[in-house]
């Protein structure tokens, strides 16, 4: 795969997203935009990630063409032009204001398959400061918009499980573009500690086993995997 063309495409993508995707996003506005635009993910609790994926992909399709990325198992990658890209927003802070450096990517098997079949995978990562729903008002508003508590939420309450705090807005601080040409790079990251597994052995609300995902520490990724920062 031609690294110069990968870099060229990444910069074209960044130019469009930097111009067309708003730096500051209010959660209620974003959810309304997804709902009225026919995006099924408007009900999702982790709306920032879904909003960036859905709206970011739509912007790219409208501006430079391409298509949805390939699907492997239950994982569909977000965007494909000449190369496959996934859009992953990174929350740089938790509800207490502490820095977060780990970012969850995709199903580990899907990442291996897309690299083997497409010659590599790129990740488009805006790092954003998040505000949190400390008083619970946002969750109540979102539940009401959905018509009440979901089956998943009712099951959570029945189990007495903890409810994660919602995010209410985000402000993009910087961008990071990564590209992995071979799966051995991911394995190397796991060995060296800047990558790892996530949710191995965990279960969904229906009791099914969750597929293991890859997570990365964006503060520790070797420069050879970084296309550029902005």
Per-residue model confidence as pLDDT tens digits over 17-41: 999 999 999 999 999 999 999 999 9
Contacts of 76 (CB under 8 A, 6+ apart): 68, 69, 70
At 133-170, the pLDDT tens digits run 999 999 999 999 998 766 666 665 666 566 789 999 99
176-215 burial by CB neighbour count: b if 16+ within 10 A, else e? bbbbbbebebbeebeeeebbeebeeeeeeeeeeeebebbb
Give the pLDDT band (50/70/90) at residue 211: confident
What three-state secondary structure class fits 13? helix
Are the C-beta atoms of residues 59 and 21 closer than 8 Å to each other? yes
Average pLDDT over residues 67-80: 96
Pairwise CA distance, residues 190 & 111, whole Å: 14
Q: What is the pLDDT of residue 178?
A: 99
43-69 burial by CB neighbour count: b if 16+ within 10 A, else e? bbeebbbbbbbbbbbebbeeeeebeeb
Q: What is the pLDDT of residue 98?
A: 98
Are the C-beta atoms of residues 34 and 53 closer than 8 Å to each other? no
Give the pLDDT band (50/70/90) at residue 212: confident
Q: What is the pLDDT of residue 153?
A: 64
Backbone angles phi, psi at 22, to 5 degrees: -60, 140
């Amino acid at each position: 795969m031609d690294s110069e063309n990968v870099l060229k495409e990444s910069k074209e993508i960044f130019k469009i997203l930097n111009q067309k995707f708003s730096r500051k996003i209010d959660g209620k506005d974003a959810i309304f935009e997804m709902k009225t635009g026919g995006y099924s993910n408007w009900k999702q609790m982790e709306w920032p990630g879904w909003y960036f994926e859905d709206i970011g992909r739509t912007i790219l399709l409208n501006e430079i063409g391409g298509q949805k990325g390939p699907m492997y198992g239950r994982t569909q990658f977000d965007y494909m032009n000449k190369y496959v890209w996934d859009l992953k927003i990174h929350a740089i802070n938790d509800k207490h204001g502490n820095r977060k450096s780990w970012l969850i990517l995709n199903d580990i098997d899907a990442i291996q398959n897309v690299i083997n079949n497409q010659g590599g995978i790129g990740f488009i990562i805006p790092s954003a400061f998040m505000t949190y729903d400390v008083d619970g008002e946002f969750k109540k508003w979102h539940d009401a918009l959905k018509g009440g508590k979901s089956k998943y939420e009712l099951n959570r309450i029945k189990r007495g499980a903890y409810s994660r705090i919602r995010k209410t807005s985000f402000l993009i601080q910087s961008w990071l573009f990564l590209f992995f040409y071979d799966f051995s790079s991911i394995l190397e990251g796991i060995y060296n500690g800047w990558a790892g597994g996530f949710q191995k052995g965990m279960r969904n609300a229906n009791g099914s086993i969750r597929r293991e995902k890859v997570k990365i520490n964006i503060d520790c990724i070797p420069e050879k995997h970084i296309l550029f920062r902005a």
